[in-house]
A and B are shown apart, each in its own frame.
Chain A
């Protein structure tokens, strides 16, 4: 810390080196320890608005039984998604961010009391529909999953690379629509691999059920890994 003399005051140089995400990351680390202690697998689902997160979750929740699943769903406004998902018979908490474009770890922590963690194998966090802002906010999850639908265009991974880089799995949703669109599947897959070499991609349709088995098996395998660490 060097100091220079001025008139009646001093100028000082301060080395700070503090990260803007540090407050969020502290809460996320606390959440992660709590989930690990209970052996709960936590998935953070991120996509653009309208890519079919909620529709896919409706099918997923119905078919994951006997695994015990809960959902925290983030939206800028309304409880509509939570109401849809509650019809699947699982505990759902809605996080209304009132303008904020992403979920933060503190929002997850303050809504956790609404789901009973003692009776849980999987917690799915459905983030606010947005491909940019949520990607940098750690929520204490094990894995991020990015969804991109066939109607969105093949260049999504190139335009929004950070989330494709950070996510473990990409779900190509609305796969049933592909034959009706000018959709170049190979190009989308190439673009995903350009951003995240070796990224796992599953093609699914919530409407026809196409590919759902592979997605459900992927979740079950991750639950098994998490619980084997827990024991």
Chain B
């Protein structure tokens, strides 16, 4: 259910970025969906579709939802490794003293927009 709130934020950010670039229309929005957030992509896509009528620039935009794996940096050996499941541990030395460096964000990464010639 929090997908609705998240979809609203993604639309707001996309629209703001398009407006500040002087874009008339957004063609594509690349979204990174961090695995750690437990966002249901189908539900997110549904809300993006349902809520975008409030954002004329985004009417025909294609939202590409790309899942981003969790990566952790080990505080002991310094290695960065990808994680396959919960109970994070360093993939190199096995220590559990790790910090998450990727996969914990839902972000608008990039966009393709159309600007009219002046």
Which A residues lie at the B interface, using CB under 8 A?
1, 6, 8-23, 100-102, 104, 130, 132-137, 158, 161-162, 165, 193-198
Q: Which of A11, A134, A198 has the most CB of B within 10 A?
A: A11
B contacts with A: majority SS = mixed
The count of residues in chain B whose C-beta lies closer than 8 Å to any C-beta of chain A is 36
A-B residue pairs, 7 tightest by C-beta: A133-B2, A101-B1, A20-B9, A20-B106, A195-B86, A161-B86, A16-B108
Which B residues lie at the A interface, using CB under 8 A?
1-2, 5-6, 9-10, 12-14, 17-18, 21, 23-24, 27, 36-38, 86-89, 96, 105-117
Q: Is the CB of A9 within 8 A of B37?
A: no
> Among A13, A19, A196, which residue has its beta carbon within 8 angstroms of that of B105?
A19
Q: Is the CB of A9 within 8 A of B114?
A: yes
Tell me, in angstroms, the Cα distance from A130 to B1 when the chains sit together: 10
Known: A100-B5, A136-B2, A196-B87. A14 touches B111 (CB 8 A): yes
Q: Is the CB of A132 within 8 A of B13?
A: no
Known: A12-B23, A20-B6. A136 touches B17 (CB 8 A): no
Q: Is the CB of A197 within 8 A of B108?
A: no
Tell me, in angstroms, the Cα distance from A133 to B111 when the chains sit together: 27
